[in-house]
Chain A
Amino acid sequence: MTQTRRLTGGLIDRQRPLNFEFDGRKYTGYQGDTLASALLANGVQLMGRSFKYHRPRGPFSSGSEEPNAIVELREGARKEPNTRATTIELYDELIATSQNRWPSLGFDMMAVNDLFSNFLTAGFYYKTFMWPAAFWEKLYEPIIRRAAGLGKASLEPDPDCYDKGFLHCDLLIIGGGPAGLAAALVAGRAGLDVILADEDFLIGGRLNQESYSLDDQAGSVFAALRYEELTSLPNVRIMTRTTVIGAFDHGIYGMVERVADHMKVPADGQPRQRLWRVYSQSALLCAGATERSIAFENNDRPGIMLAGAMRAFANRWATAVGDRIAIFANNDDAHRTAHDLHQLGVEIAAVIDSRPEAPANDSFEVLMASEVVNTHGRLGLNSIDVKTPQGLRQIQVSGLGVSGGWNPNIHLTCHQRGRPKWDAGLSAFVPSVDLPKALFVAGAANGQMTTAAAIQDAVTTAMKIATDCGRKPTSLAIPKTSDESASITPFWYVTGTERGWVDQQNDVTVKDIKLAHQENFRSVEHLKRYTTLGMATDQGKTSNVLGLAIMAHTAGQSIPDTGTTIYRPPYSPTAIGVFAGRSRDMDFRPIRKTPSHKWAEEQGAVFVEVGMWYRAQWFPQDGETHWRQSVDREVATTRSSVGVCDVTTLGKIDVQGSDAAAFLNKIYCNGFAKVDVGKTRYGLMLREDGIAMDDGTAARLAEDHFVVTTTTANAVGVYRHMEFARQVLWPDLDVQLISTTESWAQYAVAGPHARNLLRKIVDAEFDISNEAFPFMACGAITVCGGLRARLFRISFSGELAYEIAVPTRYGDAMMRALVEAGEEFGGCAYGTEALGVMRIEKGHATSNELNGTTTALNLGMGRMVSTRKDSIGAVLSRRDGLVADDALKLVGFKPRRDSDSVPAGSHLMTKGSPVDAAHDQGYVTSACYSPTLGHHIAIGFLKSGDQRLGEIIRLVSPLTNIEHDVEVVSAHFVDPEGDKLRA
């Protein structure tokens, strides 16, 4: 027979049975069950083992505060450890496994720890693993790491996806219990845009878990009716299975929506979870309250749980925790558990109340001024020892409900360092009066501990919020309820208790807290860290206040004098995947594709990420098995014939205005005031501090119109720099800027046959001869029968070269046309590697050299910094420290032996000097194998390098064990006079 503990009633759908498996055994439950309720219904109390002592444990609560019933959910890549059985919505074919035990839950070898509990007290690690120090890394840490942790990760990639999203509303209501529903109705009817979020899959909160009625309606019916009305309001969005995990600055809240956790696998296209960032004008926290326990000897056995949870299992999930139940409490509320269970036919052995006066009941025995002093049962509760004024009694029970009172769920009020205040009447912390702006609290979370008071509080607060938003809200009738009493007398732990659990998940006992006090770890923060109180996955929701109270009592202080406890986000455990969202694998960042990307893919190009751009690195041809073969061929072909390279990624900034030239004259350190229309000029930009920032060209298309190019990597930075200068430094100049990087597909055509190739592309009416279109010329042309284009005679390779730009939609076709036109000359396409080789051969600096530490002087361009005008960085580039006699200068290096490489990053030392920083002469910035020269070459910075040409110097790379001699040469390895590019 299954489900032996199933009661009548409940909010489960008995027409929809569900099969599930726990630790290999098959069970059935119903739609509406949680894993915990279904297991309890099947008579399974034992669901986990504690962290340190491996004590047998069953559910302690019925919600997200659960410290004990922690399981591994699902199998394979979807396996998720540390999942609370009390929040897992049952679905068909659910598979769960207990964790932190070996070999089985019933017989756990690690439970031997419990025998050594006298040694494994608070601070055990700190005291034990101190000596000898050498043991730490090799012995202690591995042992501790093996023993630590709960559950095991699958170690496989998460097969599910996660979403993120943004929501904006007038009012975010956190919690869909009686207070939240009432507030939503008031605000919704008043026309506010409302989001009501609740972590449960069923709206109603405690209304679904209590037996009392509201206006003669069952609580669940009352909740359902309010939910129905709210769903009819288009301005109200109800989000179930959604936990508000954090309250952040400026009215921003984080919410996790569990879209598919109640399914075996997510539906097609659906994420598993979704992280919402909510921007709300106001927020109302209606998160209710969490019950707390009383510490007594062995209060952690399966079958012992919070009295309110026991009531919830009975009323909502039609499940009895045991067949004979006792209740131990210090307040009236717990008596309702006995009442409800009795009504459902469960035998009540006794209600043990610590107060001398407590409500009597005709149906079951109430033991006043009594305490549970111990419990018995190996894997589940068998009996309890009760100290009564008449003496000690042993009572046979299989379940014990415990209540030490209720703590308002104030967590989100603390996320911005709000400190709660102690309410002596409630014996609980309530929200601070100094709440974050526009955050309000109502209901039990605000210390209103009866349903009517909670609803009234919510209505009043919602009306205020709506009024503040300029609406005219109408009030809501407050229902009549029967939960009138909330009497409580503080009672934290039974005197004499040692192994009475405070934090059940982390195995923190009364004894540990007393020990912390004895060893002077008395502040709340020290207590927490020394004992690990509240540091488990439940974040101490059921234990923090109890632990604080015991510390206060031990220290002979009041609780407020001892300290307060505050909370940090997230409110409940949150999967890391949901923070990542879709930013993983190929979706980590967007991809920027060049106009020739499709064509390059067809050629089998090997791509490299440059920022977000994917650039073709080289184009392997048949028979080429190593990248160097492809790159050498591309360089050789370009140098001997013609090559085509996509350079669209270089930044292009359109500069217009009557002061465009004056503006560029200030931006660049070299002169730009007198660039002729139709001409291009190389320019160097300096930072304010005189360090080189970026280089590029500026082509003057008209008197008031330039196109500036930047390096690929600095395109955004340069644009930002120019906008800053335009808007802040020189707002009086008439200059307008806009990026045109992506508007134009731009290709370098380089090599001796570059002009011949272009003559086949450029329309005949445009003369591109050397005379008509000399080096550094630019202009508008048409190509391929009338397509508008721009042509620039500039060269990065050192060859006769052009850059041709066409509207990007024709970029693919242009690339195909250029390559086809080059075939006649034996030309080819070349990628960024060949581009890099040719610029090193030519001695052109790029980001390796403009590395944020170098000046124009270092780069061999010191004379470019004009002294006849002011420009950004010009003055500071002449600082003493930057113009020392032995300043670094850009030079070239060639190995003494052709077979030696000259790796970038290597440092340069004078022959015979020690190899250390004090004797460092410089470093290599860029290196390659030069197919043109037949050996490795490099460029880099050397102290007084321009005066040391011909010197033999030591190249050292201690990291790669390289040390050999190189010769200092000019950085211009190929065509130093520039004859080729002017040809």
Chain B
Amino acid sequence: MPNLTALSPLGFTAPHKVVVSAYTISEVTDRAMASITARKGSASAVKTILTKILNQSAPEVGGYCAGEVEAFWTGQGQWMLTAPFDDHEDIVASFVGIFKGKASLTEQTDGWCRFAIAGQDIDRLCSLLCNIDMRTLMAGKANRTSIEHIGCFLVRIADECLHIIAPRSSAGSLYHAISAAAKSVRF
């Protein structure tokens, strides 16, 4: 292990967790993440490989597959793959062999911050954050949107749990936006 201390995107040595109004906002730092992009002519093969890795069908457009190794769709022939950080710190090395040159894998682990938001009526919170029709973002779905000018992925883990994945450098601004919206929500 390196003799360096890792910081969370918000600058803490452990994932930050707070309760704001009716919502619990937690940093998620225990997932490694890699982008998977099918090489030319290999989209179908990559999908098959991904299905094997996930033990379930690879996510279709706007889809998200939960599990120890999870994935969500990000574009045509493109997915984000995440896995437990402790076992897959070098996530590209963990999976690149499985894809046998059919896909380009790029480490994305520290490019993003990830906030888990838990609480009732997350849809109402999201209506103050982004222009997503939350009626369509049910559990098992993912979408790309913008929150206060920050490009984000929304991954609906469950009815009462949403993960927001955003560029790491804007973690503080995003956290502020989520907190402000959480305080603003009226029931």
Residues of A participating in the B interface, judged by any CB pair closer than 8 Å: 161, 163-168, 193, 259, 268-271, 274, 277, 279, 582-583, 587, 589-594, 597-598, 612-613, 654, 656-658, 704, 732-734, 736, 738-745, 782-788, 806-814, 817
How far is it, in angstroms, between the C-alpha of A784 and the C-alpha of B127 when the chains are bound? Answer: 45
B110 contacts partner chain A, Cβ-Cβ < 8 Å: yes
A-B contact pairs, 8 of them (CB 8 A): A193-B135, A270-B186, A582-B148, A582-B177, A590-B170, A590-B177, A592-B167, A739-B111
List the A side residues contacting B7 at CB < 8 Å: 598, 809, 811-813
A783 touching B108, Cβ below 8 Å: no
B107 touching A817, Cβ below 8 Å: no
How far is it, in angstroms, between the C-alpha of A277 and the C-alpha of B146 when the chains are bound? Answer: 15
B51 contacts partner chain A, Cβ-Cβ < 8 Å: no
A742 touching B131, Cβ below 8 Å: no
B109 touching A743, Cβ below 8 Å: yes
Among B5, B7, B39, B104, residue most surrounded by chain A Cβ atoms (within 10 Å): B104
B88 contacts partner chain A, Cβ-Cβ < 8 Å: no
List the B side residues contacting A742 at CB < 8 Å: 110-112, 167-169
List the B side residues contacting A163 at CB < 8 Å: 128, 181, 184
Residue in chain A with minimal CB distance to B29? A809
A654 touching B29, Cβ below 8 Å: no
A734-B40, A743-B111, A809-B7 are known; give 9 further A-B pairs, CB within 8 A: A165-B127, A270-B186, A271-B184, A590-B173, A612-B170, A656-B104, A734-B39, A808-B111, A813-B7
Residue in chain A with minimal CB distance to B42? A734
How far is it, in angstroms, between the C-alpha of A738 and the C-alpha of B148 when the chains are bound? Answer: 22
B107 touching A590, Cβ below 8 Å: no
How far is it, in angstroms, between the C-alpha of A358 and the C-alpha of B181 when the chains are bound? Answer: 58
A259 touching B186, Cβ below 8 Å: yes
Residue in chain B with minimal CB distance to A170? B135
Chain B 112-168 residues near chain A, CB threshold 8 A: 112, 127-128, 130-135, 148-150, 167-168
Using known A-B contacts A165-B128, A590-B149, A808-B168, determine if residue A787 contacts B4 with beta carbons closer than 8 Å. yes
Using known A-B contacts A270-B184, A784-B4, determine if residue A593 contacts B172 with beta carbons closer than 8 Å. yes
How far is it, in angstroms, between the C-alpha of A872 and the C-alpha of B89 when the chains are bound? Answer: 39
Number of B residues whose C-beta is below 8 Å from A? 52
Q: Which of A587, A593, A812 contacts B176 (CB 8 A)?
A: A587
A810 touching B6, Cβ below 8 Å: yes
Residue in chain B with minimal CB distance to A652? B111
The 10 closest A-B pairs by CB, nearest first: A269-B183, A590-B173, A787-B2, A656-B104, A743-B111, A808-B110, A813-B4, A734-B40, A168-B133, A592-B169
A740 touching B107, Cβ below 8 Å: yes
A813 touching B169, Cβ below 8 Å: no
How far is it, in angstroms, between the C-alpha of A733 and the C-alpha of B128 when the chains are bound? Answer: 42
B2 touching A593, Cβ below 8 Å: no
How far is it, in angstroms, between the C-alpha of A594 and the C-alpha of B173 when the chains are bound? Answer: 13
B37 contacts partner chain A, Cβ-Cβ < 8 Å: yes
B127 touching A807, Cβ below 8 Å: no
Q: State the Cβ distance, B16 to closest chain A Cβ, in Å.
A: 13
How far is it, in angstroms, between the C-alpha of A268 and the C-alpha of B172 when the chains are bound? Answer: 21
B110 touching A744, Cβ below 8 Å: yes
Residue in chain A with minimal CB distance to B105? A656
List the B side residues contacting A736 at CB < 8 Å: 37, 39, 104
Chain B 22-64 residues near chain A, CB threshold 8 A: 29, 35, 37, 39-41
B79-123 vs A, CB cutoff 8 Å, 1 = contact: the mask equals: 000000000001000000000000010111111100000000000
A277 touching B131, Cβ below 8 Å: yes
B4 touching A740, Cβ below 8 Å: no
List the B side residues contacting A613 at CB < 8 Å: 169
Q: State the Cβ distance, A975 to closest chain B Cβ, in Å.
A: 33
Number of residue pairs spanning A and B whose beta carbons lie under 8 angstroms apart? 147
Residue in chain B with minimal CB distance to A648? B169
B65 contacts partner chain A, Cβ-Cβ < 8 Å: no
Q: Which of A591, A704, A740, A784 contacts B170 (CB 8 A)?
A: A591
Residue in chain A with minimal CB distance to B39? A734
List the A side residues contacting B29 at CB < 8 Å: 809
Q: State the Cβ distance, B119 to closest chain A Cβ, in Å.
A: 15
List the A side residues contacting B130 at CB < 8 Å: 166
B149 touching A589, Cβ below 8 Å: yes
How far is it, in angstroms, between the C-alpha of A658 and the C-alpha of B111 when the chains are bound? Answer: 25
Q: State the Cβ distance, A199 to closest chain B Cβ, in Å.
A: 18
How far is it, in angstroms, between the C-alpha of A491 and the C-alpha of B133 when the chains are bound? Answer: 50
Among B21, B134, B183, residue most surrounded by chain A Cβ atoms (within 10 Å): B183
How far is it, in angstroms, between the C-alpha of A587 and the C-alpha of B173 when the chains are bound? Answer: 8
B71 contacts partner chain A, Cβ-Cβ < 8 Å: no
List the B side residues contacting A269 at CB < 8 Å: 21, 180, 183-184
How far is it, in angstroms, between the C-alpha of A590 and the C-alpha of B29 when the chains are bound? Answer: 21
A594 touching B111, Cβ below 8 Å: no
List the A side residues contacting B186 at CB < 8 Å: 259, 270
Q: State the Cβ distance, B179 to closest chain A Cβ, in Å.
A: 9
B131 touching A743, Cβ below 8 Å: no
Among B1, B2, B108, B130, residue most surrounded by chain A Cβ atoms (within 10 Å): B2
List the B side residues contacting A743 at CB < 8 Å: 107-111
Using known A-B contacts A590-B174, A656-B104, A809-B8, determine if residue A784 contacts B150 with beta carbons closer than 8 Å. no
How far is it, in angstroms, between the C-alpha of A811 and the C-alpha of B169 when the chains are bound? Answer: 12
List the B side residues contacting A817 at CB < 8 Å: 4
List the B side residues contacting A657 at CB < 8 Å: 39-40, 104
How far is it, in angstroms, between the C-alpha of A810 and the C-alpha of B183 when the chains are bound? Answer: 32
How far is it, in angstroms, between the C-alpha of A893 and the C-alpha of B41 when the chains are bound? Answer: 55
Q: Which of B39, B108, B134, B171 contacts A738 (CB 8 A)?
A: B108
How far is it, in angstroms, between the C-alpha of A161 and the C-alpha of B39 when the chains are bound? Answer: 48
B11 contacts partner chain A, Cβ-Cβ < 8 Å: yes
How far is it, in angstroms, between the C-alpha of A814 and the C-alpha of B110 when the chains are bound? Answer: 14
A738 touching B172, Cβ below 8 Å: no
A784 touching B3, Cβ below 8 Å: yes
How far is it, in angstroms, between the C-alpha of A657 and the C-alpha of B39 when the chains are bound? Answer: 7
Residue in chain B with minimal CB distance to A807? B110
B106 touching A785, Cβ below 8 Å: no
Q: State the Cβ distance, A1 to closest chain B Cβ, in Å.
A: 40
List the B side residues contacting A739 at CB < 8 Å: 111
Residue in chain B with minimal CB distance to A279? B133
List the A side residues contacting B173 at CB < 8 Å: 590-592
B106 touching A590, Cβ below 8 Å: no
B6 touching A813, Cβ below 8 Å: yes
How far is it, in angstroms, between the C-alpha of A582 and the C-alpha of B6 when the chains are bound? Answer: 32
List the B side residues contacting A745 at CB < 8 Å: 110
B148 touching A594, Cβ below 8 Å: no
B108 touching A740, Cβ below 8 Å: yes
Residue in chain B with minimal CB distance to A583? B148
Q: State the Cβ distance, A143 to closest chain B Cβ, in Å.
A: 44
List the B side residues contacting A270 at CB < 8 Å: 183-184, 186
Q: State the Cβ distance, B184 to closest chain A Cβ, in Å.
A: 5
Q: Which of B6, B128, B183 contacts A809 (CB 8 A)?
A: B6
B4 touching A810, Cβ below 8 Å: yes
How far is it, in angstroms, between the C-alpha of A864 and the C-alpha of B166 when the chains are bound? Answer: 38
How far is it, in angstroms, between the C-alpha of A704 and the C-alpha of B103 when the chains are bound? Answer: 11
Q: State the Cβ distance, B53 to closest chain A Cβ, in Å.
A: 19
Among B106, B133, B135, residue most surrounded by chain A Cβ atoms (within 10 Å): B106
How far is it, in angstroms, between the C-alpha of A271 and the C-alpha of B182 when the chains are bound? Answer: 12
How far is it, in angstroms, between the C-alpha of A347 and the C-alpha of B148 when the chains are bound? Answer: 59
Q: State the Cβ distance, B116 to closest chain A Cβ, in Å.
A: 17
Q: State the Cβ distance, A603 to closest chain B Cβ, in Å.
A: 15
Q: State the Cβ distance, B158 to closest chain A Cβ, in Å.
A: 19
Q: State the Cβ distance, A947 to closest chain B Cβ, in Å.
A: 45
How far is it, in angstroms, between the C-alpha of A787 and the C-alpha of B90 when the chains are bound? Answer: 10
List the B side residues contacting A612 at CB < 8 Å: 149, 170
Residue in chain A with minimal CB distance to B112? A742
Q: State the Cβ distance, B76 to closest chain A Cβ, in Å.
A: 10
B184 touching A598, Cβ below 8 Å: no
Residue in chain A with minimal CB distance to B4? A813
How far is it, in angstroms, between the C-alpha of A654 and the C-alpha of B104 when the chains are bound? Answer: 10
How far is it, in angstroms, between the C-alpha of A67 and the C-alpha of B107 when the chains are bound? Answer: 63
Q: Which of B11, B106, B172 contacts A591 (CB 8 A)?
A: B172
How far is it, in angstroms, between the C-alpha of A738 and the C-alpha of B174 when the chains are bound? Answer: 22
How far is it, in angstroms, between the C-alpha of A241 and the C-alpha of B5 when the chains are bound? Answer: 52
Using known A-B contacts A592-B167, A740-B106, determine if residue A786 contacts B1 with beta carbons closer than 8 Å. yes
